[in-house]
Structure 1
Amino acid sequence: MATISSYDTQSGKRYRVRYRTPDHRQTDKRGFRTKREAEAFAATVEVEKLTGAYIAPKLGLVTVAELGPEWVTRKQATTAASWGHSIEVAWRTHVLPRWGSTRISDINTLSVESWIADLAAAKSATVVLRAHGILAGILDDAVKSRRLAANPSRLVGNLPKKNKKKHVYLQATDVDDLAAAAGPRGTIVYVLAYCGIRWGELVALRVSDVEFLRRRLSIHRNAVWVGQECVVGETKGKESRSVPVPQFVLDMLSVECRGKGADDLVFPSDAGGYRARPKSGRGWFAQAVKRSGVDATTTPHSLRHTCASLTVSAGGNVLALARMLGHKDASVTLRVYSDLFDSDLDALGIALDERYSPRSVGKVWAAGSTPPPQ
Structure 2
Amino acid sequence: MATIESYETKAGRRWRVRYRTPDRRQTDKRGFTSKRHAQDFAATVEVEKLRGEYVAPKLGQITVDELAPEWLHRKQSDLKPSTYRSLETSWRVHVQPRWGTTRIADIDLDAVEHWIADMNRERGATVVIRAYGILAGLLDSAVKARRLARNPARGVENLPRKTGKRRVYLTHADVERLAEEAGQHRVLVLLLSYCGLRWGEATALRVEHLDLLRRRLHVVDNAVQVGRTVHVGTPKNHQHRIVPIPQFLVDELARQCEGRNRHDLVFPGRDGQHLRRPVSTTGWFTKAVERAGIERVTPHDLRHTAASLAVAAGVNVKALQRMLGHASAAMTLDTYADLFDSDLDAIGHALDSARSTQRVGKMWAQMPTGE
Corresponding residue for 1:338?
A: 337
* CA–CA separation in structure 1 for the residues paired with 2:30 and 2:47: 19
* CA–CA separation in structure 2 for the residues paired with 1:331 and 1:253: 32
* CA–CA separation in structure 1 for the residues paired with 2:33 and 2:295: 69
Give secondary structure in 2 for the equivalent of 1:268: coil
Deviations along 1:209-236, whole A, 9 cap, x unmatched? 1111101111111110112211111110
Corresponding residue for 2:365?
A: 367
Number of residue pairs matched?
Answer: 368
* CA–CA separation in structure 2 for the residues paired with 1:39 and 1:110: 23
TM norm structure 2: 0.93
Corresponding residue for 1:103?
A: 103
Deviation at 1:154, TM superposition (A): 1.6
Matches within 5 A, 1:1-374: 1-296=1-296, 298-347=297-346, 349-350=348-349, 363-368=361-366
The aligned amino acid for 1:20 is: R
Deviation at 1:264, TM superposition (A): 0.3
Give secondary structure in 2 for the equivalent of 1:259: coil
* CA–CA separation in structure 2 for the residues paired with 1:24 and 1:145: 21
* CA–CA separation in structure 2 for the residues paired with 1:362 and 1:36: 78
Percent identity for Structure 1 against Structure 2 = 56
Deviation at 1:81, TM superposition (A): 1.9
Deviations along 1:294-316, whole A, 9 cap, x unmatched? 112x1111111111111111111
Deviation at 1:353, TM superposition (A): 7.3
Shift of the 7–245 alpha-carbon distance from structure 1 to 2, 3 Å rule, reads same
TM norm structure 1: 0.92
Deviations along 1:64-113, whole A, 9 cap, x unmatched? 11111222221222222211111111111111111000011111122112
Shift of the 45–289 alpha-carbon distance from structure 1 to 2, 3 Å rule, reads same
* CA–CA separation in structure 1 for the residues paired with 2:142 and 2:136: 10
* CA–CA separation in structure 2 for the residues paired with 1:357 and 1:159: 46
Shift of the 365–143 alpha-carbon distance from structure 1 to 2, 3 Å rule, reads same
Give secondary structure in 2 for the equivalent of 1:230: strand
Deviation at 1:156, TM superposition (A): 1.7
The aligned amino acid for 2:29 is: K
Deviation at 1:132, TM superposition (A): 0.4
Listed as ranges, the gaps of 5+ residues in structure 1 are none
RMSD: 2.1
Deviation at 1:49, TM superposition (A): 1.7
Deviations along 1:102-159, whole A, 9 cap, x unmatched? 0111111221122112222222211111000000111111222222222222222211
The aligned amino acid for 1:367 is: A
Shift of the 369–244 alpha-carbon distance from structure 1 to 2, 3 Å rule, reads farther
* CA–CA separation in structure 1 for the residues paired with 2:37 and 2:303: 63
